[in-house]
Amino acid sequence: MKFKITLVTVLFCTLFSFQSNAQKVVDSKFGKGVFNVIAKDSSWSMKFATRMQFLSTSVLAADEPNSAEIEQNFLIRRARFKFDGFAFSPKLKYKFELGLSNRDISGGSEFTRNTPRYILDAVVMWNFAGNWELWAGQTKLPGNIERVVSSGNLQFVDRSLLNSRFNIDRDVGLQLRHKDKLGENFVIREKIAISQGEGRNVTQGNEGGLQYTARVEFLPFGEFKSKGDYSASDLKREATPKLMASINYDHNNNAVRERSNLGGYMFLSDGSLYQTNINTFFADAVFKYQGFSFTTEFARRDAEAAIAVEADGTATGDVVNVGNSLNLQAGYLLPSNLEFSGRYTNVNLDGIAGGAKTDQYTLGASKFFVGHKLKLQTDLSYTTINGEGDNWMYRLQLDVHF
Looking at residue 20, its pLDDT comes to 47
Looking at residue 36, its pLDDT comes to 87
Q: How far apart are the first and last CA of the chain?
A: 28
- Whether 26 maps to a domain, the answer reads no
Residue 226 domain boundaries? 46-401
For residues 391 and 367, the answer to whether their CB atoms sit within 8 Å is no
- Whether 306 maps to a domain, the answer reads yes
The pLDDT tens digits for 312-353 are: 999 999 999 999 999 999 999 999 999 999 999 999 999 999
- Whether 88 maps to a domain, the answer reads yes
- Whether 32 maps to a domain, the answer reads no
The total number of residues shown for the chain amounts to 402
- Whether 53 maps to a domain, the answer reads yes
**Positions in the chain short of pLDDT 50:** 1-5, 8, 12, 15-16, 18-20, 22
- Whether 5 maps to a domain, the answer reads no
- Whether 134 maps to a domain, the answer reads yes
CA dist., res. 397 & res. 379, Å (int): 9
In terms of DSSP bridges, do strands 357-370 and 338-349 run parallel, antiparallel, or are they unpaired? antiparallel
Question: Residue 281's domain is classified under what CATH number?
Answer: 2.40.160.10
Q: How many domains does the chain have?
A: 1
Q: Which long-range contacts (CB under 8 A, 24 or more apart) does 205-210 make?
A: 207/111, 207/256, 207/265, 207/273, 208/252, 208/253, 208/254, 208/255, 208/256, 208/273, 208/275, 209/252, 209/253, 209/254, 209/255, 209/275, 210/173, 210/253
In this structure, the dihedral spanned by the alpha carbons of residues 107, 170, 228 and 280, taken in order and rounded to 10 degrees, is -110
Looking at residue 26, its pLDDT comes to 63
For residues 104 and 120, the answer to whether their CB atoms sit within 8 Å is yes
- Whether 31 maps to a domain, the answer reads no
Looking at residue 28, its pLDDT comes to 72
Phi, psi (5° rounding) for residue 27? Answer: -85, 75
In terms of DSSP bridges, do strands 119-129 and 89-99 run parallel, antiparallel, or are they unpaired? antiparallel
Looking at residue 66, its pLDDT comes to 58
Looking at residue 383, its pLDDT comes to 95
For residues 265 and 107, the answer to whether their CB atoms sit within 8 Å is no
